[in-house]
Structure 1
Amino acid sequence: MYLPLIGRLRALEWPPLVLGLILVLAEKVLRFITGLLPSAIILACESTVKSAMEALLPPMAADTATNKAVHDVVKAPDFVSLCKLVGLEAEEHIVKTRDGYLLGIHRVRSPGAIDKPRPVVYLHHGLLMNSEVWLCAIDRKRCLPALLVDKGYDVWLGNNRGNKYSKKHLSRSPVDINFWDFSMDELALYDIPDTIDYVLSTTGEKSLAYIGFSQGSAQAFAALSLHPQLNAKVSVFVALAPAMAPPGLRAGVVDALIKASPGLIYLFFGRRAILSSAAFWQSIIYPPLFVRLIDSSLVFLFNWHGKNISAAQKVASYSHLYSFTSVKTVVHWFQIMTHRCFQMYDDDPSVRLYGQSFYRAVRFPTQNIRSPIIMIYGTVDSLVDINAMIAELPPYSVTVPIKNHEHLDLIWADDVEDVVFPHVEAAIEKYLPLHEPVDLKHTSSKNVPESPPKYAYAPPHMPPAQQKHEHLRPQRNSGSRDRGTVKHNSTTDGIIVGMADPVTAIVVPRSANATSAAAKLDAVFDDDTQVRKSAATGPADHSPNTVAGAGTSKSDRTLSTEAAYGRDMNDQHDGARTVSKITGLRVVEPIPIIASTENGDKDNSEEHPVEAKEKLKNR
Structure 2
Amino acid sequence: MPVAPSLVKIIFVFCIQHVSTTDVIDRKTDPSILEDAALNTFNLIRKYGYPCEIHHAVTHDGYVLEMHRIPYGRKNTTKDGRPVVFLQHGLLSSSAEWVLMSPEKGFAYLLADAGYDVWMGNARGNTYSRGHISLTTASSDYWKFSWHEIGYYDIPAMIDYTIYVTKVPKIQYIAFSQGTTVFWVMTSSKPEYNDKILAMHALAPIAYVGHMRSPLVKAIAPLTTGLHKIIQLLGPDEFLPNGKINELAGQRLCLEESYTQVLCKNLLFLICGFDTEQLNNTMLPVVLGHTPAGASTRQFVHFGQLYNSDKFTNFDHGWIVNKYTYGTFTPPAYNLSAIRTPIFLHYADNDWLSTPKDVDRLLHEVKTVVGKFKVPLQKFNHLDFVFANDAKSLLYDRIMSIMSGFL
Report the TM range for the smaller structure's normalisation.
Answer: 0.7 to 0.9
1:219-618 superposed matches below 5 A: 219-246=182-209, 247-251=211-215, 254=219, 257-258=222-223, 261=226, 264-276=229-241, 279-285=243-249, 286=252, 287-288=254-255, 291-348=261-318, 359-384=329-354, 385-394=358-367, 396-402=369-375, 403-404=377-378, 405-431=380-406, 433=407
Q: CA deviation at 1:127?
A: 0.3
Q: Which amino acid aligns with 1:119?
A: P
Q: Deviations over 1:191-250 (max 9, x none)?
A: 001110100010000000000011011111111111111011100000111111223354
Would the aligned equivalents of 2:65 and 2:124 in 1 still touch at CA under 8 Å? yes
How far apart are the structure 2 equivalents of 1:308 and 1:210? 25
SS at match of 1:386: helix
Aligned residues: 375
SS at match of 1:89: coil
Question: Residues 322 and 264 (structure 1 numbering): CA distance in 2 closer, same or farther, change over 3 Å?
Answer: same
The match for 1:179 is: 142
Question: Residues 256 and 92 (structure 1 numbering): CA distance in 2 closer, same or farther, change over 3 Å?
Answer: closer
SS at match of 1:106: strand
Q: CA deviation at 1:366?
A: 1.3
Q: Which moved more, 1:161-170 or 1:382-391?
A: 382-391
Q: Does structure 1 residue 192 correspond to structure 2 residue 159?
A: no
Question: Residues 388 and 344 (structure 1 numbering): CA distance in 2 closer, same or farther, change over 3 Å?
Answer: same
Match of 1:94 among 47, 52, 56: 56
Question: Residues 408 and 303 (structure 1 numbering): CA distance in 2 closer, same or farther, change over 3 Å?
Answer: closer
Q: Does structure 1 residue 84 correspond to structure 2 residue 58?
A: no
How far apart are the structure 2 equivalents of 1:142 and 1:256? 34
Q: CA deviation at 1:165?
A: 0.8
Q: CA deviation at 1:388?
A: 2.1
The match for 2:13 is: none
Match of 2:33 among 65, 70, 76: 70
Q: Does structure 1 residue 165 correspond to structure 2 residue 128?
A: yes
Question: Residues 83 and 256 (structure 1 numbering): CA distance in 2 closer, same or farther, change over 3 Å?
Answer: closer
How far apart are the structure 2 equivalents of 1:256 and 1:163? 23
The match for 1:117 is: 81
Unmatched 5+ stretches in structure 2? 10-19, 323-327
Q: CA deviation at 1:260?
A: 5.0
How far apart are the structure 2 equivalents of 1:316 and 1:296? 16
Question: Residues 333 and 58 (structure 1 numbering): CA distance in 2 closer, same or farther, change over 3 Å?
Answer: same
Question: Residues 120 and 56 (structure 1 numbering): CA distance in 2 closer, same or farther, change over 3 Å?
Answer: closer
Q: Deviations over 1:153-191 (max 9, x none)?
A: 111000001111110100111100111111112111110
Question: Residues 351 and 339 (structure 1 numbering): CA distance in 2 closer, same or farther, change over 3 Å?
Answer: farther
Question: Residues 156 and 380 (structure 1 numbering): CA distance in 2 closer, same or farther, change over 3 Å?
Answer: same
1:23-62 superposed matches below 5 A: 57-59=24-26
Question: Residues 261 and 308 (structure 1 numbering): CA distance in 2 closer, same or farther, change over 3 Å?
Answer: farther
SS at match of 1:182: coil
Would the aligned equivalents of 1:208 and 1:235 in 2 still touch at CA under 8 Å? yes
Would the aligned equivalents of 2:180 and 2:206 in 1 still touch at CA under 8 Å? yes
Q: CA deviation at 1:412?
A: 1.2
How far apart are the structure 1 equivalents of 2:221 and 2:59? 37
SS at match of 1:140: coil
Q: Which amino acid aligns with 1:346?
A: D
Would the aligned equivalents of 1:263 and 1:331 in 2 still touch at CA under 8 Å? no
Q: CA deviation at 1:304?
A: 2.9
Would the aligned equivalents of 1:374 and 1:397 in 2 still touch at CA under 8 Å? yes
Unmatched 5+ stretches in structure 1? 1-16, 24-52, 353-357, 434-619
| TM-score, length of structure 2 as denominator length | 0.84
Match of 2:174 among 193, 211, 228: 211
Would the aligned equivalents of 2:84 and 2:118 in 1 still touch at CA under 8 Å? yes
Q: Which amino acid aligns with 2:309?
A: H
Q: Which amino acid aligns with 1:19?
A: P
Question: Residues 265 and 256 (structure 1 numbering): CA distance in 2 closer, same or farther, change over 3 Å?
Answer: closer
How far apart are the structure 1 equivalents of 2:44 and 2:21? 27
The match for 1:156 is: 119
The match for 2:12 is: none
Q: CA deviation at 1:408?
A: 0.8
Q: Which amino acid aligns with 1:398?
A: G
Runs (4+) off by over 6 Å: 53-56
The match for 1:126 is: 90
SS at match of 1:211: strand
Would the aligned equivalents of 2:181 and 2:205 in 1 still touch at CA under 8 Å? yes
SS at match of 1:116: coil
